[in-house]
A and B are shown apart, each in its own frame.
Chain A
């Protein structure tokens, strides 16, 4: 099984530690993992802004980079969702279909493909899980509060196995953080307010570290936490699962 590691553009440039944790985690799990170095971006920032047409070449580059792998794994539910859902704008060649079918968010890959939940991590902190909307409602990484369905959560099932970690419950379990890509700039006021409200929920419930499977949400929350000097850290779920504190 050959796995292509997909590192979203902003993680590559701004959060190399998340990419490193993802890679190390996969290596720990004995995955034959490769990092195609010609990769750029899934095209989502353009497409969500209404410039889907202009994102086609970026999508093509993505397919070129990953077409030879059995699985494509990335630490971002949102980008993976984009590949699966919106690469319908490309001509559906064999390669495109293969890439779309075999793209997996990291947690989903570990739990559903590798069939593991316990990675032997330890992380003795009170953790709040931020469920990214694209991971939750797009990739169905868990049950949604709006729907009548029995409770499950891919990320929770992994975090519950981490030694010393206490998963705190939130008042609003799956409300959006307000990042939304370019929404964060074009609708700045509402975006900021949404982020502040999410953080308050974590603060009210005694959270020390906010985690999630999408670092873009966490980047937005971290920006607010740092500006307002609030006593919470953010860490990508890969960093927690790769910890042995």
Chain B
């Protein structure tokens, strides 16, 4: 199903759409307040964008530097060129440690690699410990947002879900009660876990350490209790120096949720004596994207989700309508690079309003890249014949003033004199919910010929 078809389904329930829109707009406004309190906000964005551009131009060196320093710290470093290799590596580590129970904090990369189903098929229990992730995990759904994975669920829906899976008593969607119940349940899982898996927000080349940001402290809880910690990162997560964290941590929290700082920014530099610390560095299509000049800067992304919160289409179509690991505007420029055919409708799920570009903390020109992907989609993916032919004909008509004149006149004639049932037929998508403009007797050309004879 295309994005528009899924979006139309989501829009069947207007009350839910209104609620979804308001919830995310609230986050967008919180972001505005937090960001605009900082004097040098626009400068910070510029700086972050520059650092990321530098990273991408020197990625080979930074990655090698990072590996060297990480190894010196006693971290075991693995390289995976794709999702399969990533999953294989993680499973190997688990098998070696005879691990049966895994707790995981939020990581979009492991979502991208479909790690959970892979491990579960091998008899390993994987529990997502971020509350939102946990909710979608027991609902057997993918996250619909990268920072707020269960934003599509109301608290009443979560109530029902918890009754079914955790045996809670009905609470009318009481968030405190529900959170506490989840907390109790997850505590057990943390204590029992053999291995903790986390994502990586920033990997520092000069130190070989990395930073994981969570609001719930679940990454720390997992990593400190389990004997083995595996951190999975995409190759673009590198930043050159530790001091650059001062730029990125400030941007990330404010852009994501409007907080001045994420509750836990946990620095991991070396394993605790007697424990193991692994890093899996994953490519999975990122070097391909790096090679595409027009789309390279999409790899600047620090996964804050601000473009989703601001996107008027995302807010009214829901994350699942994108049918991609990363939904919303940033997902719509990343996903076509992975599978153009599957994601060919995503670059069109936008009015090119440019709000995403304006909020992006690392200044990715998202809406311009959407426009560029559109040009590629129409060339490389088979288009519906009708759409293609109509637009080709329009192209010809617009290049011939006389033909254009005739077409304009005929169209206005039809709109003016055809009976309503013909004009508002099934093929007139515009007219389903909107009236067409009322046609006047003259177009401007005609008026001008009569009223302003003396120039032109």
Given the known inter-chain contacts A146-B32, A187-B313, please indicate yes or no for A13 contacting B350, CB distance below 8 A: no
Contact with B along A157-193 (1 / 0, CB 8 A): 0000000000000001011101111011111111111
A37 partner, pick from B14, B36, B371, B448, beta carbons under 8 A = B448
Contact with A along B1-24 (1 / 0, CB 8 A): 001100110110010010001000
B81 within 8 A of A: no
B56 contact set on A, CB distance < 8 A:
none
A94 within 8 A of B: no
A181 contact set on B, CB distance < 8 A:
351
A224 contact set on B, CB distance < 8 A:
433-434
Q: Are A180 and B351 in contact (CB under 8 A)?
A: yes
A203 within 8 A of B: no
Q: Are A227 and B433 in contact (CB under 8 A)?
A: yes
Query: What residue in chain A is nearest B412 (Cβ atoms)?
Result: A13
List which B329-385 residues lie within 8 A (CB) of chain A. 347-355, 357-359, 371, 374-378
Distance of B34 from chain A, by nearest CB (Å) = 11
Given the known inter-chain contacts A35-B452, A49-B391, A50-B377, please indicate yes or no for A189 contacting B430, CB distance below 8 A: no
Q: Are B440 and A189 in contact (CB under 8 A)?
A: no
Contact with B along A1-44 (1 / 0, CB 8 A): 00000010101111111011001000000000011111111010
B167 within 8 A of A: no
9-residue interface stretch from A53-61, A95-103, A104-112, A119-127: A53-61
B313 partner, pick from A55, A172, A190, beta carbons under 8 A = A190
List which A206-236 residues lie within 8 A (CB) of chain B. 219-220, 222-224, 226-227
Q: Are B355 and A13 in contact (CB under 8 A)?
A: no
Distance of B368 from chain A, by nearest CB (Å) = 9
Closest 8 CB pairs of A and B: A180-B351, A223-B434, A57-B399, A54-B395, A50-B378, A50-B374, A146-B358, A137-B354
B408 partner, pick from A12, A60, A133, beta carbons under 8 A = A12
Given the known inter-chain contacts A51-B378, A223-B434, please indicate yes or no for A190 contacting B357, CB distance below 8 A: no
List which A107-157 residues lie within 8 A (CB) of chain B. 133-134, 137-138, 144-149
Q: Are B4 and A188 in contact (CB under 8 A)?
A: yes
A7 partner, pick from B348, B412, B432, B444, beta carbons under 8 A = B444
Given the known inter-chain contacts A147-B42, A176-B351, please indicate yes or no for A194 contacting B445, CB distance below 8 A: no
Q: Are A193 and B17 in contact (CB under 8 A)?
A: yes
B358 contact set on A, CB distance < 8 A:
137, 144, 146-147
Chain B's interface size range is: 35 or more
Q: Are B437 and A183 in contact (CB under 8 A)?
A: no
In the bound assembly, the distance between CA atoms of A195 and B310 in angstroms comes to: 16
Given the known inter-chain contacts A149-B42, A223-B434, please indicate yes or no for A133 contacting B353, CB distance below 8 A: yes
19 interchain pairs (CB within 8 A)?
A: A12-B445, A16-B443, A34-B455, A35-B456, A38-B401, A50-B377, A58-B395, A58-B399, A60-B399, A133-B351, A180-B350, A180-B352, A187-B7, A187-B313, A190-B316, A195-B434, A223-B430, A223-B433, A226-B434
Q: Are B408 and A57 in contact (CB under 8 A)?
A: no
Enumerate chain B interface residues (CB-CB to A < 8 A).
3-4, 7-8, 10-11, 14, 17, 21, 25, 32, 35-36, 38, 41-42, 310, 312-313, 316-317, 347-355, 357-359, 371, 374-378, 387, 391-392, 394-401, 404, 408, 411-412, 429-430, 432-437, 439-440, 442-449, 452, 455-456
B398 partner, pick from A23, A58, A191, beta carbons under 8 A = A58
Query: What residue in chain A is nearest B357 (Cβ atoms)?
Result: A137
Q: Are A148 and B395 in contact (CB under 8 A)?
A: no
Q: Are A40 and B352 in contact (CB under 8 A)?
A: no
Query: What residue in chain B is nearest A138 (Cβ atoms)?
Result: B354
In the bound assembly, the distance between CA atoms of A224 and B312 in angstroms comes to: 18
Q: Are B440 and A16 in contact (CB under 8 A)?
A: yes
Distance of A31 from chain B, by nearest CB (Å) = 12
Q: Are B434 and A12 in contact (CB under 8 A)?
A: no
A149 contact set on B, CB distance < 8 A:
42
Q: Are A61 and B401 in contact (CB under 8 A)?
A: yes
Given the known inter-chain contacts A172-B25, A186-B348, A187-B313, please indicate yes or no for A51 contacting B444, CB distance below 8 A: no
Interface-central residue, B353, B433, B449, by most chain A CB under 10 Å? B353
Query: What residue in chain A is nearest B367 (Cβ atoms)?
Result: A137
Q: Are A183 and B350 in contact (CB under 8 A)?
A: yes
Query: What residue in chain A is nearest B11 (Cβ atoms)?
Result: A189
Interface-central residue, A13, A38, A183, A190, by most chain B CB under 10 Å? A190
Distance of B440 from chain A, by nearest CB (Å) = 6
A145 contact set on B, CB distance < 8 A:
32
A70 within 8 A of B: no
Given the known inter-chain contacts A16-B442, A188-B432, A193-B11, please indicate yes or no for A40 contacting B316, CB distance below 8 A: no
B446 contact set on A, CB distance < 8 A:
16
In the bound assembly, the distance between CA atoms of A106 and B10 in angstroms comes to: 39
Q: Are A9 and B434 in contact (CB under 8 A)?
A: no
Query: What residue in chain A is nearest B442 (Cβ atoms)?
Result: A16
A194 contact set on B, CB distance < 8 A:
312-313, 316, 351
A220 partner, pick from B434, B455, B456, beta carbons under 8 A = B434
B348 contact set on A, CB distance < 8 A:
50, 183, 186-187
In the bound assembly, the distance between CA atoms of A226 and B5 in angstroms comes to: 26
Query: What residue in chain A is nearest B42 (Cβ atoms)?
Result: A148
A35 contact set on B, CB distance < 8 A:
448, 452, 455-456
A222 contact set on B, CB distance < 8 A:
435, 437
Q: Are A188 and B8 in contact (CB under 8 A)?
A: yes
Given the known inter-chain contacts A147-B42, A219-B437, A223-B436, please indicate yes or no for A40 contacting B312, CB distance below 8 A: no
